[in-house]
Every structure is written in C-alpha cells, then in structure tokens.
Structure 1
Amino acid sequence: MTDAGTGSPSVAPGFDDLLEANRKYSETEFSTGGFDGIAHAGVAIVTCMDSRIDPLRLVGLQPGDAKIFRNPGGRVTAAALEALVLGVHLLNVKRILVVPHTRCAMASNSEAELRERVGASAGQDASWQQFNVVTDQRAALLADVRAVRTHPLVPESVAVGGFLYDVDSGLLQQLA
C-alpha cells in the first residue's frame, strides 16, 4: 500500500485501538526504558507463536530476563539457530529451552490440510506454500535439541533442554 501522491508507504488503517492501548501501556506499565538488551536470567526460549503461551511467565521470568524466539510449532529453524548463537555469544544466554506445546496446529494437521484450509481462507491456491508440519512432536523436539547442542557455535557449557508445554494445565514436561 503506497500513498498515491508520494509513492511512499502509507499508514495502514485498523490499528487505532492497539495504538491507544500502547499509549496507556507506555504511561502506566512500561518499565524497561534504557534496558541493556541482555538476558538477565541467562535464558533463551524457542517456542510456538500460539497465543496461549506466555513464555516468560510460564517459567517465572520477567521482561528483560530472557530472549524469546517464536515460530509456528516452536521449531529450531535456521533463524532460531541464528538467534540462539547471537544470544549465547552477545546477550548472556547460558540456558536454552526448546518448548513446543500440546494441541498445536502444526502437529495436528497435515501439510495438505493446512494448505487446503489456508487456500480456502485466501480464496486462492496455496498448494505451493510450505508449513513444516510436525508429524512426531517428540522426535521433532529431540532433533531440535540435538541441533542446538551440536551447533559448532553453541558451547557445551550452555544447557539445552527440550520441554513440552501443556496448554491445558500450564505445566512443562522435560523430555530432553
């Protein structure tokens, strides 16, 4: 979307309620101004984008304590590994939690089902879109933990654990 007069990107409508909530947050709750950006508790968490997950609070942390990387399924992708390497070497990360969750759409749908659902919603063919579904959540978690533990730029001194978060009980189960 661009402004016809200038060719510059125009401001998208539909965000007024969120901007107003942000103004209130800034005035009443915001407390991390001037923060140095390191993980004060030495923790990084890779988890799913699912809105039922509050990655900091589920392990008793606060803003500024951890680095958080979220994606569909909570997978350790190339981008997640990039973030973890930076976290370990530049941002005080000493412990890494990989945390997929129960009842995840990425683990309960096939690639074909997700393409069909997205295509129906979009009103166009989505057969070309890859969604990286998880056919075996436990095996995927173990492979993801292994990928972090064996990465040449993640020292052995960094603790790496694999956990399954139960969205119905709020509990973590350590699997690796």
Structure 2
Amino acid sequence: MTNSASIPTGSGAAMGGVSATDRFVEANARYAASFADAGLDSRPALRTAVVACMDARLDVSAALGLTNGDCHVIRNAGGVVTDDVIRSLTISQRKLGTRSVVLVHHTGCGMETLTEDFRTELENEVGERPSWEVGCFTDVEQDVRQSLERVRTSPFLPHTDDVRGFVYDVKTGLLREIDPA
C-alpha cells in the first residue's frame, strides 16, 4: 500500500496552492501517456465482483492482488450491501458475466461510530431527511454476515453460490474470512 500526504480540510483541499483534483489531473496525464489497457474487455477476467468499504486505508487491488480488468470493485461507506449495491451486482452478473461476490469490510470502520441519528442531524441542517439509511453497525463481523445474507437472498442475483465475506485488518493488511452462520 502506498502512503500519500494527508489532504487538509477546507476550501478546495489545496496543498501548496494545488488542489487534490489538480494533482489527479496531472497524474492522469502521466498515466495516459503510457496507457496500454485500451483493449480490456468490460467483463471482469476473474468473473468476480468485490464489494468493499471506501476507507482510504483499504487498497483493494493491492490487498487482493488484482490488476486492471480482473474484477468489478463496488465501494461505499462501510462496504454495506445496500439496494444500490444490489443494483450494481445485478448488472455485473446479468450483463457482464460475474459469478462470484467477495465482501470486504475492515477493522476500525467509521460506520461503527455513527448512528441512524445522522439522518436527523442532516434533516435539521438542510431541511430534508435523506431517503437512504446510514447503514451504520456496531459489530463488523455481524454486518459482514448480514451483507452475505442480503446478497444470497436477493431475487435479482442469479449467482449466489460463491459469495464470501472478509474483514480486512487495517493494522496488519490481512483478511480474515467470516463464517456466514
């Protein structure tokens, strides 16, 4: 996993006058100069979709030994299997040929520190209650089990035999498989 400089909060998250987005655009120009993946198929070579937390400490490709084109990677806060994740998995399986699903939660997840009261806080601040659930949890292993169950019981997913869930340890980089029972 690579380490990058932390980006200060504030307007534009500028570092020395250059925003993070400006850095991304510059990096993309370097990447495109030697781009060699134009012929990749949109169907994942490993026929697998990975659902993972968006936490910046989790480098999914490095942790799982993936290269470009191997898998679909779907990320959100907590790696929680929401309706939108089911939508993405359904398209991944039915239109792009994936057959396996891997769920990756992690230790020290910020979703363990939130409650559904966050929706009320937002409603009080902006005058509108979010239609979505926060998806918070207090037990990462139990949330992996719940997410496994959501995938396995979705009527929209035809391939639910190979669905496995893991907790990634942010201190060691190791995955620990969670028994769905």
TM over 0.5: yes
Aligned-residue offset at 1:115: 7.5
**Correspondence for 1:144 among 138, 144, 147:** 147
Aligned alpha-carbon RMSD (Å): 2.6
Q: Tell me the number of residue pairs that the alignment of Structure 1 and Structure 2 aligns.
A: 158
Aligned-residue offset at 1:125: 2.5
Letter in 1 for 2:24: L
Match of 2:99 in 1: 94
Match of 1:155 in 2: 158
Check the 8 A contact 2:50/2:74 in 1, yes or no. Answer: yes
Check the 8 A contact 1:96/1:158 in 2, yes or no. Answer: no
Q: TM-score, normalised by structure 2?
A: 0.76
| Residue identity (%) | 32
Tell which deviates more after alignment, 102-111 or 46-55: 102-111
Match of 1:44 in 2: 49
| Residues 1:19 and 2:34 aligned together | no
Indicate the structure (1 or 2) with the bigger Cα radius of gyration.
Answer: 1
Could you report, residue by residue, the CA deviation over 1:48-105 in whole angstroms, capped at 9, with x for unpaired residues?
1111111122111111000011000000011101111111122221210111111111
Cα distance in 1 for partners of 2:139, 2:150 equals 16
Q: TM-score, normalised by structure 1?
A: 0.78
Could you report, residue by residue, the CA deviation over 1:5-45 in whole angstroms, capped at 9, with x for unpaired residues?
xxxxxxxx9533321111011113x3321322111011110
Letter in 1 for 2:43: I
Letter in 2 for 1:84: L
Letter in 1 for 2:69: G
Cα distance in 1 for partners of 2:61, 2:102 equals 11
Moved over 6 A (4+): 113-116
